[in-house]
Chain A
Amino acid sequence: MHAFDYATPESVADAVVMLSDQGKNACVLAGGTDLIVQLRENRRRTDLVVDVKRIAELNALSYDAATGVTIGAAVPCYRIYGDAEIAAAYPGLMDAARLVGGTGIQGRASLGGNLCNASPAGDTIPPMIVLSGEAEIAGPNGTRKVAVEDFCTAPGRTVLEVGEFLVSLHFPAPVPNSGAFYRRFIPRNEMDIAVVGVGASVVLSEDRSSFVSARIAVGAVAPTPLFVREAGDALAGQPVSDESIQRAADLARDAARPISDMRGTAEYRKHLTSVLTRRVVEGAVQRAKE
């Protein structure tokens, strides 16, 4: 591990200045559950680590039944699922927040960090996509907003420019007759990285017999977590049935373009994408009915 400087700005503006001055060699630290390992193992090199945990906006966590939830980029998972109101409103997001690493890791790891790490297999990203999450970014030119599905651009890469960092994530309030679900496949039962992960959100008709709309996102099958718009769109207006769900699963499978690696072959991942999409849409439907 190479030596680096460490800074703890207390305002968004100070952080922007530090990050801008240092340029590409600066790293943002929130929980550090990815970054510290990467630095220790020489997978990443930095001259300056900017710890953003002392900035108020990054620790904010607020929910309003009308407008939705805002989650500061450094808020650890345990605070999110530990808030009964938020946990009840966003069970699909909780599926993933409770999966990241293990209990110990969830005391530090944040949704913001998971998104900025931009792993194709990041567990919280597919559910953030299907819940229409929006990222608020601060930078030298002020703030801007980017949809979560557009945030990651390649493995480990995001839309963040030099001097920019993620401030918070916002999710709209759940509408009636809606449900969301996330599930991943791993060979073990814990402490693993998704071979495939699938998130789905659905809105059902009032009699709950058909889909009004749906969003489906898939992880670990492409260079970035993948929003499969066509799979969700195919459900809109369709009856809730094995056939309609299978068609969406097939579309998700067709959209997947996985690689073969030590976690699974491309062929296996495509197969799993179909299996999981079906199960996850069924899970989301079940939640919409509850």
Chain B
Amino acid sequence: MSQNGHKVIGTRPIRHDGVDKVTGRAIYGADIQLTGLLHGAIKRSPHPHARIKNIDTSRAEAHPGVRAVVTAHDLPQIADKLADLGEAIVNLRDASNNVLAYGKVLYKGHAVSGVAAINLHVAQEAVELIDVEYEVLPHVTGVLEAMEDGAPILHEDMKTTSMGEETDKVSNVANHFQHKMGEPDDGFAEADVVIEREFTTQTVHQGYIETHNATAHWNEEGQLTIWTSTQGAFSVRDQMSEILQMPVSKVKIVPLEIGGGFGGKISVYLDPVAALLSKRTGHPVKMTMTRDEVFEGTGPTPGSYLKVKMGATSDGRLTAATAYMAYEAGAYPGSPVGAGAGCIFTPYDIPNVQIDGYDVCVNKPKTNAYRAPGATNAAYATETVVDEISEKLGVDPLEFRVKNGAKEGTRRADGPVHPRIGCIETTEAALNSEHYRSSLAKSGNGKVRGRGVASGYWFNFNGGRSAISVSINPDGTINMLEGSTDIGGTRASIAMQLAETIGLEATDIKPYVVDTDSIGYTDVTGGSRTTFGTGYAAHATGQALIREMKERASKLWDVPADAIDFEDGVFSYRDDAEKRGSFKELASQAGDAGGPVVAQVSTNPDGSGGGAFATHVVDVEIDRETGKVDILRYTAVQDAGTAIHPSYVEGQMQGGVVQGIGWGLNEEYIYNDEGSMTNASFLDYRMPTTLDLPMIETIIVEVPNESHPYGVRGVGEVPIVPPPAALANAIYDATGVRLRDLPMSPPRVQKALAENGG
């Protein structure tokens, strides 16, 4: 027995997909080999902003071994239409133009043409033979520069929408929105301490190890099959259907194992090009990106500018807060500024709030979801200002957070009222942690040490659509088919919820992620929805199986079904103690009483995904002469609702922290004056390695989500939110200097310390 009376939930079984992965047998996109397979490559723009005057593909087409060349003219031109891809709303015309540029290229790396050839080397050679004539245009890559009058305009037909109304102004600002609650001016008038600061963050990438890939086969019947690495097979199907203007019934998506996604593997890039090339040649076509293509041609998360002002009374109550948030959308509208605005002050109960958000196009790749998109940028600003206010007031920063913490009934500035949440419980757990209570020893080698804390919030999306299909084997095991691609251990977490419901072991369930023809529509694995939403479906499936098994037992025992109970994994007839059996015992006979036992369930739960809160504590050591920051100790505390498989909850927390540390200390897209990224490789785009990190300690808090039968809250995203702010606060504690620009890389830290005498 685990806690809360659960038998399976809360235990740590070996994951179902583990052996295949550690022995290299799991099938990824790059493993796909088909008879007659051709290989594709993409021609990309060398300019950040240019009009395409002409594309001459004749030399490439004449190259020996080349089978087909396509451009945007081979794609149907589609009208503006918005589609919800699960983590972001996307205009499908923009999505099509992002797949193959039409008219203009909007960033360096923008795809302009695709080639299929007998092998990859020939395809790459042919790419060099495609002649594109450009009229180079002035470019803009910074968010504030892009907002200025007179800035180069990316979309001549795009007018700014302001506060819900379309204006006449043509600018790079796609949208300005405002959330307002109470009267911030009055709130600041009440305050004894008011702090206002400006912050900048840089473009960062999810950095998944597996690069994007797609293999397409368009057969003679016009049926398109795509094997790919994606967070949502049905989302890929929808995008293919829209971009290629073909019925969904003609498209089948086979999701393969995924080597990391973090939000970045929802939009399609290669898939439509591979499909067009396959249609043209009649052969399957495989395309795989190189690392620099991933950096320059897929969707990172945006750079941003934020100005945050917060006020508190001398007795430590927050009275007002305002935020100005300008996020880079990249080449097409749709930055995560809206999500950032929903998170920026959410760990706090503040009566007077105003938030202004700006979605701004710049000549960089179209941004895409990345783990709690928009929230990390926001928390960097808020949590640094909260640290400064706590210091001014002379109160412990975590006690200040507890005192002002959001709770059930607190309203977010963007509208929703919190259900039962674990914000204060999480902060208290950090406050009481051994790490926070320990004293930080002084450095013995001339370096300086400091400790910082920060909190964070992520919504967790409300369920969404999930389908599960199960069949019972005579030995009592269950084959469980699901549409949720497994990016973080969800085969295990979903199978465990089914096992718990029907009284089996986790290993009795065999979970399979299947293609779009084999299961009902399932939304993307994103928004931290899957263990909640598809887990919800797993619970419902278990309930359906219990009902079905009661029917079977009723026939086998010749008793009424409603007189059969199911308790502690055993079916029993109320009036005869002899008539009883476990799920497994009944399974061996059930087929004789009505054919094979199967069940199909789909759900779309109404309730809250259960907001996730996190508070982190970090100790750093700084070499003042070089500006290098080393992490000595890191503890992440998070409300998981109910931890289905605690090891995978801890893994998500640790993974999020590591990405947040990279974002905080070294990661950034570095652009030169020509608008070109100069560090499009893992060598110079510096993600942390294992040698840069201590073991990340974790504390799981469990405040059950009332909207889920087992109390699940999403856990995957919020752990990336606090780290940059926690690091900034720790650097301040060590040096007395506040850093408000990311990344806090050695040159920046050294310069700041030298200028401020830190």
CB contact under 8 A between A264 and B747, given known A192-B686, A272-B626: yes
Chain B residues contacting A189 (CB-CB under 8 Å) are 630, 689, 691-692
Additional pairs, 14, CB under 8 Å, beyond known A42-B124, A185-B626, A275-B625: A2-B121, A187-B665, A187-B686, A187-B746, A188-B666, A188-B691, A189-B630, A189-B689, A190-B692, A192-B683, A192-B686, A193-B683, A264-B746, A268-B750
Task: Let me know if A5 is at the binding interface, CB within 8 A.
Answer: no
A268: contacting residue among B121, B686, B751, CB under 8 A: B751
Output the residue of B665, B684, B747 with the most chain A CB within 10 A: B747
A191:B689 contact, CB within 8 angstroms:
yes
B692:A2 contact, CB within 8 angstroms:
no
Task: Let me know if A11 is at the binding interface, CB within 8 A.
Answer: no
Select from chain A the residue with minimum beta-carbon distance to B668: A262
Chain A residues contacting B314 (CB-CB under 8 Å) are none
B683:A188 contact, CB within 8 angstroms:
no
Identify which of residues 1-20 in chain A touch chain B, using a CB-to-CB cut-off of 8 Å: 1-3
Interface bits A167-208 vs B (CB < 8 Å: 1, else 0): 000000000000000000101111111010000000000000
Interface bits A223-238 vs B (CB < 8 Å: 1, else 0): 0000000000000000
B691:A262 contact, CB within 8 angstroms:
no
Select from chain A the residue with minimum beta-carbon distance to B748: A268
Could you tell me the distance between the alpha carbons of A189 and B751 in the complex, rounded to whole angstroms? 20
A1:B121 contact, CB within 8 angstroms:
yes
Select from chain B the residue with minimum beta-carbon distance to A40: B290
* Chain A binding surface SS class: loop
Task: Let me know if B679 is at the binding interface, CB within 8 A.
Answer: yes
A261: contacting residue among B121, B678, B683, B691, CB under 8 A: B678
With both chains docked as a complex, state the minimum distance between the C-beta of A135 and any C-beta of chain B, in angstroms. Answer: 27
Chain A residues contacting B686 (CB-CB under 8 Å) are 187-188, 192
A190: contacting residue among B666, B670, B679, B691, CB under 8 A: B691
With both chains docked as a complex, state the minimum distance between the C-beta of B662 and any C-beta of chain A, in angstroms. Answer: 10
B750:A263 contact, CB within 8 angstroms:
no
Identify which of residues 717-758 in chain B touch chain A, using a CB-to-CB cut-off of 8 Å: 745-747, 750-751
| A-B residue pairs, 3 tightest by C-beta | A189-B691, A262-B679, A268-B747
Chain B residues contacting A1 (CB-CB under 8 Å) are 121, 124
B750: contacting residue among A2, A193, A261, A271, CB under 8 A: A271
25 A–B contacts from the bound complex (CB under 8 Å): A2-B121, A3-B121, A185-B626, A185-B628, A185-B746, A187-B628, A187-B666, A187-B745, A188-B688, A189-B689, A189-B691, A190-B689, A190-B691, A191-B683, A191-B689, A192-B686, A193-B684, A262-B679, A264-B747, A265-B747, A268-B746, A268-B751, A272-B626, A275-B625, A275-B626
Select from chain A the residue with minimum beta-carbon distance to B680: A262
Could you tell me the distance between the alpha carbons of A42 and B128 in the complex, rounded to whole angstroms? 11
Task: Let me know if B125 is at the binding interface, CB within 8 A.
Answer: yes
Identify which of residues 118-132 in chain A touch chain B, using a CB-to-CB cut-off of 8 Å: none
Select from chain A the residue with minimum beta-carbon distance to B693: A189
Chain A residues contacting B684 (CB-CB under 8 Å) are 193, 262-263
Interface bits A247-283 vs B (CB < 8 Å: 1, else 0): 0000000000000011111001001100100000000
Chain A residues contacting B628 (CB-CB under 8 Å) are 185, 187
Output the residue of B666, B686, B688 with the most chain A CB within 10 A: B686
Identify which of residues 646-685 in chain B touch chain A, using a CB-to-CB cut-off of 8 Å: 665-666, 670, 678-679, 683-684
Could you tell me the distance between the alpha carbons of A191 and B628 in the complex, rounded to whole angstroms? 16
Chain A residues contacting B688 (CB-CB under 8 Å) are 188
With both chains docked as a complex, state the minimum distance between the C-beta of A88 and any C-beta of chain B, in angstroms. Answer: 26
Could you tell me the distance between the alpha carbons of A237 and B758 in the complex, rounded to whole angstroms? 36
Chain A residues contacting B626 (CB-CB under 8 Å) are 185, 272, 275
Chain B residues contacting A261 (CB-CB under 8 Å) are 678
With both chains docked as a complex, state the minimum distance between the C-beta of B33 and any C-beta of chain A, in angstroms. Answer: 21
Could you tell me the distance between the alpha carbons of A1 and B679 in the complex, rounded to whole angstroms? 21
Could you tell me the distance between the alpha carbons of A3 and B119 in the complex, rounded to whole angstroms? 13
Could you tell me the distance between the alpha carbons of A74 and B364 in the complex, rounded to whole angstroms? 43
Could you tell me the distance between the alpha carbons of A275 and B571 in the complex, rounded to whole angstroms? 75
Chain B residues contacting A187 (CB-CB under 8 Å) are 628, 665-666, 686, 745-746
B679:A188 contact, CB within 8 angstroms:
no
Could you tell me the distance between the alpha carbons of A261 and B672 in the complex, rounded to whole angstroms? 9
Chain B residues contacting A272 (CB-CB under 8 Å) are 626
Could you tell me the distance between the alpha carbons of A187 and B662 in the complex, rounded to whole angstroms? 11
A262: contacting residue among B630, B670, B689, B692, CB under 8 A: B670
Identify which of residues 587-633 in chain B touch chain A, using a CB-to-CB cut-off of 8 Å: 625-626, 628, 630
Could you tell me the distance between the alpha carbons of A262 and B669 in the complex, rounded to whole angstroms? 9
With both chains docked as a complex, state the minimum distance between the C-beta of B346 and any C-beta of chain A, in angstroms. Answer: 32
With both chains docked as a complex, state the minimum distance between the C-beta of A75 and any C-beta of chain B, in angstroms. Answer: 25
Select from chain B the residue with minimum beta-carbon distance to A269: B747
Interface bits A25-50 vs B (CB < 8 Å: 1, else 0): 00000000000000000100000000
Chain B residues contacting A263 (CB-CB under 8 Å) are 684
Could you tell me the distance between the alpha carbons of A1 and B125 in the complex, rounded to whole angstroms? 8
CB contact under 8 A between A188 and B692, given known A1-B124, A262-B684, A272-B626: yes
Chain B residues contacting A192 (CB-CB under 8 Å) are 683, 686
With both chains docked as a complex, state the minimum distance between the C-beta of A188 and any C-beta of chain B, in angstroms. Answer: 5
Select from chain A the residue with minimum beta-carbon distance to B682: A191
Could you tell me the distance between the alpha carbons of A261 and B686 in the complex, rounded to whole angstroms? 14
Chain B residues contacting A188 (CB-CB under 8 Å) are 666, 686, 688-689, 691-692
